[in-house]
Structure 1
Amino acid sequence: MVKLLIIADDFTGALDTGIQFKKCGISTQVFTKTKLENSEIKTDTEVLVIDSETRPLSKEEAYLQVRKITSWALSMGVEIIFKKTDSALRGNIGAELKAVSDAAGEASVFFLPGYPDIHRITKNGTHYIDGELLENSVFGKDPFEPVKRSYIPDIIHDQSDISAVNILVGEELPETGKNIAEIIVCDTVSTEDIDKRLDEMAEKKCLKLMAGCAGLADRLVEKLEFNRKEKMRFRKTDSMYVACGSMNKITENQLDYAEKNGGFARVHLSMEQKLMPEYYTTAQGKSFMNEIVELCRMKKKVIVDTFDLDDSKEQFMREHEIRPKSVRFRISDSHGCIVNEIVRHNVDVTILMTGGDTLMGYMKQIGCTQIEPLCEIEQGVVVSSIECGGRFVQVISKSGGFGTEDIMCRIAEKVINKES
């Protein structure tokens, strides 16, 4: 029986939160569709993760989607709703938290936004990334969802009219209940702060509606009772292919390091190759995909990225009447075409995808709506299995803003079979 529902706004968020439970042997299912049939949910599933894909939507669309999912879960008797938020607070944070509150009858939602283990903390209601104000970090310059504020109640109020109050470390939680619609933003400077707050919530029997990132999920595992089974592991493959759809500067630095220091072969997609998915139906596109397949067979480590190498992008978009909002989806669809071709040729490869849109692009290509997380190979980096035409494809998902400079090299060291 499902005890906990996690609603994520993108695919990597769904996986890096769901894996906190799956890696502890807790039966967990992750879906990329929002309308589920009862028959799709296994009888032993205790944690259900739904990717609402609401991050790129308008705040009005995101509100309706999250409210609908929350209402469905509550009607099914799910006791705990966890609204997964980005650790850098990108997306429709305020609208989605209000949706959870409204669906539950105007109830309070406890929001613990920090992830101290990766130096993302909340102090006096203000969010910091590596000691820097959120708005001044790389996430303030995000090409799709730049975060222009650091004070969390202000971020919430930009997107909704729900009350937001800040609770300091050590300060007692206020009384809550139905008809008290507010977001209670809890400072999280250390992992111990999260543990203490969860213990207080459990004591006050208010572990019902909460929000936060994978850092909160990691601690919640220890606070709830679950049945636990044998843990799953990843398998080693002959090679690793990196499909980089992220445009985050952190990821760009990671790829530069992997190319210079890790022996990775690297291919930059042209404007046509990354922004025109229909290119891959042409003779030229098919020839290019065959070149990538052969490169994967010859090299153990391959990167294909979509970073802009010049200033021709805007002109190309004008000439082909491409709307800016569609860029992320065109990039993910293009990556999906290439990955699908690699898999079709039975290359023994682990596919690492950066950015939730990238993995979604591939799953759309193969018509898959469910993925099985296996384990966490690095913090925030999840290994999963996807079934495609009777074959199981091993994929690794990584958020664009996660990881140290050498992370690609460390992952390759773990996943590539040295005897091949």
Structure 2
Amino acid sequence: MPQCVVIADDLTGANATGVLLKKMNYKAYTVMNTERIELETLSECDCVLYPTDSRGVESEIAYNRVYNVCNLLKNDEVKVYSKRIDSTLRGNLGSETDAMLDGLGEDYVAIVAPCFPSSGRIVIGGYMLVEGIPLHKTNIAIDPKTPVKVSEVEVLFKEQSKYQVSSIYMKDMMHGKHYLADRLLDCVNAGSRIITVDCVTQEDLDLIADAVITSKLKVVAVDPGVFTATLSRKLIVPAKKKEKNKILAVVGSVNSNTKVQMEELWLSQRTHNVFVQTKELLEDEGRREQEIARVTKEILDECDRNVISTVTGDGIYPENRIDFAPYMERYQCSLDEVTGKINQAFAEITYRIFQAEPTFKGLYTSGGDVTVSVCQRFETAGLSLMDEVLPLAAYGQFLKGKFEGVHIITKGGSQGGRDAINRCITYLKEKLYI
């Protein structure tokens, strides 16, 4: 039997969640006709998704459909149960969640984490915002079939569910997974079977999933799919076991846009960053080597604790920008030769990290000159280009050489919106099944 069961209120939602799971190397089946499929067939997949087409029906009918499917698919081998709901909270949220809780038994609780960061759906202070607008002020409020006139997630569930509902807000998520796990248990001990949780970023969803696992609660994930995928990633090993791959981002650009993009990445995902003291790279050879070795060591010392590491030139902050004229005069060389020394040092740091730690399989580089220097130091014959991640951000793999097959995304420092680097790193994570 599959280890993940997702019951969705419509087909497109089921498929959207299935795609998220597939990106993490899980084999996912969407079942649309139980009369045409043998249950033994489901043993071939990691995740099964079942749409009940119940978003716009009466709540009693929705309850019965979900309850019956839940009883059909529940199994001792299942590690993740999910009630996939609409990303804008339309439909029979309460009755369908009740149906899953009733079908699975009284020791299960529902964790509602209905954010979808990449689509601009977040929950903060208990309110759902869509692209920064409260839900009840969007066109969802006048949806002809399933209008939603309330933005508070807890209120919507209280109106529709027979069970006690509690909420956990962002202030409770600032003290780590153990504290959050205790808060979840407090809610359950106080009688709640449905707990709604604030969530804005993927990091928030990771924290909630870690807290759920720490609490040892039996849960139903109630969300539009991202929390389900996050919980599955932490609990289920795909049939094809995944490697513990890591990603390194190397950013030498001093463009002001790069600063905004890196700060967005650091806020959105757990990373370990080391700033390169760029001036040290232009001093004597001893200080240059000392700085290269320092940055390399700091990344390697922490990489086992972090999937994403970043090496960033301190020049993204204006106060650290270098006046190159004195160095041009000292070394009697051109501006290109001076900046080339910096780019080559970034490339050397990158090379030493990949050489010392083979689990680094993904690389992001920002700044064309840094990218060229990295490719030269890695002695790659070129890049096998595969996709455009976003305008002027290309994805490919190294061709030939010792590091053939390393996944790389390259982007100009000035290109893209504030989330551009975050999107590139997320893309790499999907390609590496992280």
Normalising by structure 2, we get a TM-score of 0.50
Matched position secondary structure for 2:233: coil
Matched position secondary structure for 2:111: strand
1:17 aligns to what?
17
The answer to whether structure 1 residue 174 and structure 2 residue 175 are counterparts is: no
2:292 aligns to what?
none
Relative to structure 2, which stretch is displaced further, 201-210 or 11-20?
201-210
Matched position secondary structure for 1:194: helix
Deviations 1:293-329 (A, max 9, x none): xxxxxxxxxxxxxxxxxxxxxxxxxxxxxxxxxxxxx
User: Could you tell me how far 1:208 is from its partner in structure 2?
Assistant: 3.4
Are 1:33 and 1:52, in contact at CA under 8 Å, matched by a contact in 2? no
**C-alpha separation between the residues in 1 aligned to 2:189 and 2:37?**
29
- The change in CA–CA distance for 1:180 and 1:32 in structure 2 (over 3 A counts) is farther
Q: Which amino acid aligns with 2:149?
A: K
2:213 aligns to what?
202
1:162 aligns to what?
163
**C-alpha separation between the residues in 1 aligned to 2:43 and 2:105?**
28
**C-alpha separation between the residues in 2 aligned to 1:115 and 1:94?**
20
- The change in CA–CA distance for 1:181 and 1:101 in structure 2 (over 3 A counts) is farther
Are 1:108 and 1:183, in contact at CA under 8 Å, matched by a contact in 2? yes
Query: Gaps (5+ residues) in structure 1?
Result: 232-375, 380-420
Q: Which amino acid aligns with 2:59?
A: K
User: Could you tell me how far 1:378 is from its partner in structure 2?
Assistant: 9.4
Structure with greater proportional helix content = 2
2:130 aligns to what?
129
Matched position secondary structure for 1:208: strand
User: Could you tell me how far 1:7 is from its partner in structure 2?
Assistant: 0.5
**C-alpha separation between the residues in 2 aligned to 1:34 and 1:181?**
34
Are 1:7 and 1:14, in contact at CA under 8 Å, matched by a contact in 2? yes
- The change in CA–CA distance for 1:92 and 1:36 in structure 2 (over 3 A counts) is farther
The answer to whether structure 1 residue 56 and structure 2 residue 56 are counterparts is: yes
**C-alpha separation between the residues in 1 aligned to 2:74 and 2:92?**
22
Matched position secondary structure for 2:48: strand
User: Could you tell me how far 1:181 is from its partner in structure 2?
Assistant: 5.2
**C-alpha separation between the residues in 1 aligned to 2:36 and 2:145?**
29
Q: Which amino acid aligns with 2:92?
A: N
* Higher Rg: 2
**C-alpha separation between the residues in 1 aligned to 2:27 and 2:230?**
17
User: Could you tell me how far 1:170 is from its partner in structure 2?
Assistant: 4.8
**C-alpha separation between the residues in 2 aligned to 1:75 and 1:40?**
13
Relative to structure 2, which stretch is displaced further, 18-27 or 179-188?
179-188
Are 2:2 and 2:47, in contact at CA under 8 Å, matched by a contact in 1? yes
- The change in CA–CA distance for 1:174 and 1:26 in structure 2 (over 3 A counts) is closer
Are 1:153 and 1:166, in contact at CA under 8 Å, matched by a contact in 2? yes
- The change in CA–CA distance for 1:155 and 1:33 in structure 2 (over 3 A counts) is farther
2:227 aligns to what?
216
Are 1:124 and 1:187, in contact at CA under 8 Å, matched by a contact in 2? yes
User: What percentage of aligned pairs have identical amino acids?
Assistant: 27
Are 2:209 and 2:227, in contact at CA under 8 Å, matched by a contact in 1? no
What count of residue pairs does the alignment treat as equivalent? 235
Matched position secondary structure for 1:56: coil
Q: Which amino acid aligns with 2:126?
A: G
Are 1:198 and 1:207, in contact at CA under 8 Å, matched by a contact in 2? no
Deviations 1:84-120 (A, max 9, x none): 1111001101111111112222331111011122211
User: Could you tell me how far 1:221 is from its partner in structure 2?
Assistant: 4.2
Are 1:121 and 1:128, in contact at CA under 8 Å, matched by a contact in 2? yes
Q: Which amino acid aligns with 1:50?
A: Y
Query: Gaps (5+ residues) in structure 2?
Result: 173-179, 243-386, 391-434
Deviations 1:217-259 (A, max 9, x none): 342343123225599xxxxxxxxxxxxxxxxxxxxxxxxxxxx
2:204 to 193, 200, 216: 193
User: Could you tell me how far 1:40 is from its partner in structure 2?
Assistant: 5.4
- The change in CA–CA distance for 1:92 and 1:34 in structure 2 (over 3 A counts) is farther
The answer to whether structure 1 residue 109 and structure 2 residue 120 are counterparts is: no
- The change in CA–CA distance for 1:182 and 1:230 in structure 2 (over 3 A counts) is closer
2:195 to 159, 175, 184: 184
**C-alpha separation between the residues in 2 aligned to 1:150 and 1:25?**
35
Are 1:114 and 1:215, in contact at CA under 8 Å, matched by a contact in 2? yes
1:73 aligns to what?
73
Deviations 1:166-199 (A, max 9, x none): 1012522332779955210010022211111101
Are 2:157 and 2:165, in contact at CA under 8 Å, matched by a contact in 1? yes
**C-alpha separation between the residues in 2 aligned to 1:11 and 1:196?**
29
**C-alpha separation between the residues in 2 aligned to 1:94 and 1:101?**
11
Deviations 1:43-99 (A, max 9, x none): 321101001111121111111111121222225653321111111001101111111
Q: Which has the higher contact order (CA 8 A, sep 6+)?
A: 1
Are 2:80 and 2:232, in contact at CA under 8 Å, matched by a contact in 1? no
- The change in CA–CA distance for 1:69 and 1:2 in structure 2 (over 3 A counts) is same
